[in-house]
């Protein structure tokens, strides 16, 4: 049985925020028709989530200690995935509109 405290573990919360941030980035890119907006919103979502998590659940000032280069590499990797998917969807949308 999984307890409530397991849901607030940093790894469990990262697994929740990753799809949310990627979908948010893709949606914003499709709405604004600018791929960079989706990329930046994904990065900002990850950073704001981590600031909220480490600031709310742990003592103040521990965010700088907990943030590592590995985390930033993972965040930029998922933001890159958002960038690629957004670019492909916008390209497909532009091709469809040209053919219609």
Residue 51 belongs to a domain:
yes
Check: CB of residue 85 under 8 Å from CB of residue 26: yes
- Element housing 42 (H / E): helix 35-57
**Residue 4 included in any domain:** no
Prediction pTM value: 0.78
pLDDT per residue as tens digits for the range 36-66: 999 999 999 988 888 777 776 666 555 555 6
Question: Residue 25: which pLDDT band, with cuts at 50, 70 and 90?
Answer: very high
Q: What residues make up the domain containing 68?
A: 18-93
Check residues 69 and 31 and name the one with the higher pLDDT: 31
Q: Is residue 49 part of a domain?
A: yes
Q: In this structure, is residue 28 part of a structural domain? A: yes
| Number of domains comprising the chain | 1
pLDDT reported for residue 100: 72
* Span 6-26, average pLDDT: 82
């Amino acid at each position: 049985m999984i307890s409530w405290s397991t849901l607030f573990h940093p790894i469990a919360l990262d697994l929740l925020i990753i799809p949310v941030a990627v979908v948010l980035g893709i949606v914003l890119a499709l709405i604004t028709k600018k791929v960079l907006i989706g990329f930046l919103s994904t990065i900002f979502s990850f950073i704001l989530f981590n600031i909220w998590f480490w600031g709310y659940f742990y003592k103040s000032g521990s965010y700088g200690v907990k943030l590592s280069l590995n985390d930033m590499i993972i965040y930029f990797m998922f933001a890159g995935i958002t960038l690629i998917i957004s670019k492909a969807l916008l390209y497909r949308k532009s091709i469809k509109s040209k053919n219609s």
